[in-house]
Structure 1
Amino acid sequence: MNSKKQLIALAIALACAQTALAQDGQDRFTLSGFGTLGVAHSTEDLADVVSDFQSDKGVGASDGTSARLDSRFALQLNANFTDDFTGVVQAVSEYAVTDSYKPEISLAHVKYRFSPAFSARLGRITAPLYMLSEYQRVGYAMPWVRPPHEVYNYLLAMDGIEGLYTINAGDTVIGVQAFYGQIDSEKADVDDLHGLGVQVDRGASSFRVSHIRGNVKYSSPSIELLFNTYRNLPSPPFPASLGTIAARLDPRDMDGSFSGIGYSYDPGNWFLRTEVIQADYAPSISAKTTSGYLSAGFRKGAWTPSFTVAHVDTSELELPGAADPIGTLNMAVAQNNNSRHSYTASLRWDVRDNVAVKLQGSHVKNHAGSFGSLKNYQPGFQPGGSYNLISASVDLVF
């Protein structure tokens, strides 16, 4: 909570600095922003497709058609104190982590360039999980309505420090990124978050690999009730092993790792992009998830059609089985089976230099026994089914 107060103080300080410099006639601050007005329709009416793993509502059971998945608006203040010292504050309103459109500070950091090759950022930055982490919320920056949810299902900011060292080797640029910090979110806190990322750019090709580790505390009222109950069941009449199993599956204090590898090729008139990530929280209830996508498209004037195939595989799920006579823990573990695949066709139309209109259709097939990362299950919902998701959006930047 102290980090939130510090970020608010930083935002106020930047705003005060803007006023002071404006009085001196110095144009060192710029205001920019982006937004998406999106609507989606799901044919799955007994569960919700959600925008973030912490969200409980999206589109489907709660509303067959909704703007929750993609609609957002953000304002960003950029400060150029000197040529080497800069700052950023960004506020975004979106229906994600808080299950509301309450504005949140998504970025608030200062950056100092120590040399042409080395720079560092301090404060709230985007958790560097993916190739598109820096632009994950900016719909205008991508050809799809949203990045493939099979991979991009985290919308998290990190409070900490990041260093970037750039090596120029002829036509090749190598960026080495190291970071340390913490995540303080509604349901997920991550302490001792540290990792390394390497990106190699050469011509139209870009390659990135990263590995991140941290201590994760994932909690909600239902998780608190479930694991507090199971870890305190009397033995007998319940098996003594049940409490041990519950302690091992408890997600409120677990070590985790996140690894990613991605490649893109974009010569201008067409593009190919692929990315694979693995989130490993085993042996907890969150288990291990390996997911990836392959997307290709071409540009013809203002039009960009593309096609994407994505896949998720959940492994190392530990079902208590007969050791759980109540069955509630078995069901909680089963609901973390997200295995599925999807096929998505997208069409982007660049109406203006800063406005794009998109249409997208996805067919999602949950594997046998899989809940497919859906939420808000209703009576009668059966795992292993399939559904269609139709989306439309208008993206802008300014």
Structure 2
Amino acid sequence: MHQKKQWIALAISLALSQAAWAQDGGDDRFKLSGFGTLGVTHSTEDQADVTPDFQTTRGVGASNATSGKLDSRVAVQLNAQFTDNFSGVVQAVSEYAVTESYKPEISLAHVKYRFSSAFSARLGRITAPLYMLSEYQRVGYAVPWARPPQEVYNYLLPMDGVEGVYNINAGEAVIGIQGFYGRINSEKADVDAMRGVAVQVDRGSSSFRVSHIRGKVHYVTDSINALFDTYRNLPIPALAAAAARLDPRDVDGSFSGIGYSYDPGTWFLRAEAIQADYSPSISGKTTSGYASVGFRHGSLTPSLTVAHVDSGGRELPGTLDPFGLLNGAVLSNNSSRHSIGAALRWDVRDSIAVKLQANHIQNHAGSFGGLGNVQPGFQPGRGYTLVSATVDFVF
């Protein structure tokens, strides 16, 4: 971890020094830019926290009824154009996610080479290509809501590896085929041999994307180590075997996604669904999706979004577990819920947008709803409301 911090500090220093040199010397090969969000959210759920990332335990709710942790961030990016075909990017972001602090992290650090007008490749740290909005998931100014629907967008993880994109012109459509291989190395979740393919078709105002990813997933925390190390060594063969099946520390996982957007300018429609399958581990199989529609009237964009999560694929030990701890772990990972949200975006100027958003989330019967920092008084299956205000900017 100490070496990682040194590498991050060095990368940021080099990026900023290069940018300063480029600006002083008038070298247009380098461009410094950035984005950020100043946001505050209030939650009516006072016995658990809504979190910015699935690895984070704190956000808004039980720890603080009103907090900026869910949406606030700032990022600085240096783009380098070494030749017409060879470029590079370094991006550092400060946000309350994954590390549960605002410590700056390198979210992008890669080079890109364009072999032809149709084929290009990137090598280094790139955005994990999970969703339609993956490339600008963090850029609040680029989306109409205060945040992308968390029922789908609850991962904020970069991938270290290689990616190739081949574009095919087919009449009025452009078909992009994206292949990638790498690994995710995070605080609690690692993915080895992460490989996948995504196909995107753009035609006029329509975009369609489908993807499939596989990898070896390791989800590890102190509490998971203590629980599964204990249960897997119990002198009760059936219970030890159940614990081995539910252990999330070494799982063959898959992630599939499909999405569609239509945006002719005056209005938009966007829908997306994903399935993350880590069953039979306690991470289980989660199918989720959302649909959102909005209208643009001058500088105002109101929108309405509905979303749903269906969580399952876990085997409850039941009476095999006389201690109840393994049963509790399985039950607490039930995140099934649905939500409805209304948002209003006001484009104050070309680089600044103000947003207001309200979401009502209803956890399904027995569901913990994917919440963190769960308190003893928490009631599974209860609903709550989130009210958010954000200011998004780019520079």
Structure 2 CA distance for aligned equivalents of residues 179 and 286 of structure 1: 24
The residue identity in structure 1 corresponding to 2:394 is V
- Which string of whole-angstrom CA distances, capped at 9 and with x for unpartnered residues, describes residues 101-130 of structure 1? 110000000000000000000000000000
Alignment CA distance shift 1:307-1:3 (3 Å): same
The residue identity in structure 2 corresponding to 1:103 is P
Task: Select 1:368's aligned residue among 361, 365, 369.
Answer: 365
Query: In the alignment, does 2:217 pair up with 1:216?
Result: yes
Alignment CA distance shift 1:79-1:232 (3 Å): same
Q: CA RMSD in A?
A: 1.7
- Which string of whole-angstrom CA distances, capped at 9 and with x for unpartnered residues, describes residues 361-392 of structure 1? 00100001100001111111110110001001
Structure 1 CA distance for aligned equivalents of residues 22 and 67 of structure 2: 43
Alignment CA distance shift 1:171-1:247 (3 Å): same
Identity score, percent: 70
The aligned residue for residue 337 of structure 1 is 334
The residue identity in structure 2 corresponding to 1:344 is G
Alignment CA distance shift 1:118-1:221 (3 Å): same
Task: Select 2:321's aligned residue among 303, 324, 346.
Answer: 324
Structure 2 CA distance for aligned equivalents of residues 148 and 333 of structure 1: 25
The aligned residue for residue 260 of structure 1 is 257
DSSP 3-state at the match of 2:223: helix
Alignment CA distance shift 1:116-1:8 (3 Å): farther
Structure 2 CA distance for aligned equivalents of residues 302 and 18 of structure 1: 33
Alignment CA distance shift 1:361-1:113 (3 Å): same
The aligned residue for residue 228 of structure 1 is 229
Superposed displacement of residue 160, structure 1? 0.3
Alignment CA distance shift 1:63-1:213 (3 Å): same
- Which string of whole-angstrom CA distances, capped at 9 and with x for unpartnered residues, describes residues 305-347 of structure 1? 0000000001212110000000011000101100000000000
Q: Flag structure 2 segments of 5+ consecutive residues without an equivalent.
A: none
The aligned residue for residue 128 of structure 1 is 129
The residue identity in structure 2 corresponding to 1:196 is V
Structure 1 CA distance for aligned equivalents of residues 13 and 352 of structure 2: 31
DSSP 3-state at the match of 1:27: coil
The aligned residue for residue 182 of structure 1 is 183
Superposed displacement of residue 132, structure 1? 0.1
Q: Flag structure 1 segments of 5+ consecutive residues without an equivalent.
A: none
The aligned residue for residue 311 of structure 2 is 314
The residue identity in structure 1 corresponding to 2:223 is S
Structure 2 CA distance for aligned equivalents of residues 68 and 17 of structure 1: 31
Written as runs of structure 1 = structure 2, the 5 A alignment for 1:1-398 is 25-233=26-234, 235=235, 239-398=236-395
- Which string of whole-angstrom CA distances, capped at 9 and with x for unpartnered residues, describes residues 237-260 of structure 1? xx3200011011111110100000
Alignment CA distance shift 1:6-1:191 (3 Å): farther
Contact 2:19 2:78 in 1 (8 A): no
Superposed displacement of residue 294, structure 1? 0.5
Structure 2 CA distance for aligned equivalents of residues 316 and 149 of structure 1: 21
TM-score, normalising length: structure 2:
0.96
DSSP 3-state at the match of 2:238: helix
Structure 2 CA distance for aligned equivalents of residues 249 and 336 of structure 1: 11
Contact 2:19 2:31 in 1 (8 A): no
Superposed displacement of residue 8, structure 1? 6.6
Structure 2 CA distance for aligned equivalents of residues 18 and 353 of structure 1: 24
Structure 2 CA distance for aligned equivalents of residues 255 and 263 of structure 1: 28
Structure 2 CA distance for aligned equivalents of residues 391 and 194 of structure 1: 36
The residue identity in structure 2 corresponding to 1:275 is E
Structure 2 CA distance for aligned equivalents of residues 218 and 307 of structure 1: 34
- Which string of whole-angstrom CA distances, capped at 9 and with x for unpartnered residues, describes residues 109-154 of structure 1? 0000000000000000000000000010000000000000000000
Alignment CA distance shift 1:95-1:3 (3 Å): closer
Structure 1 CA distance for aligned equivalents of residues 301 and 267 of structure 2: 9
Structure 2 CA distance for aligned equivalents of residues 279 and 210 of structure 1: 12
- Name the stretch that deviates more: 25-34 or 260-269: 25-34
Alignment CA distance shift 1:89-1:278 (3 Å): same
Superposed displacement of residue 168, structure 1? 1.1
DSSP 3-state at the match of 1:46: coil
Q: Count how many residue pairs are aligned between Structure 1 and Structure 2.
A: 394
Superposed displacement of residue 174, structure 1? 0.6
- Name the stretch that deviates more: 262-271 or 16-25: 16-25
DSSP 3-state at the match of 1:329: helix
Alignment CA distance shift 1:344-1:112 (3 Å): same
The residue identity in structure 1 corresponding to 2:182 is G
Contact 1:3 1:159 in 2 (8 A): no
Contact 2:334 2:370 in 1 (8 A): yes
Alignment CA distance shift 1:380-1:374 (3 Å): same
Structure 2 CA distance for aligned equivalents of residues 175 and 4 of structure 1: 36
Structure 2 CA distance for aligned equivalents of residues 122 and 266 of structure 1: 31
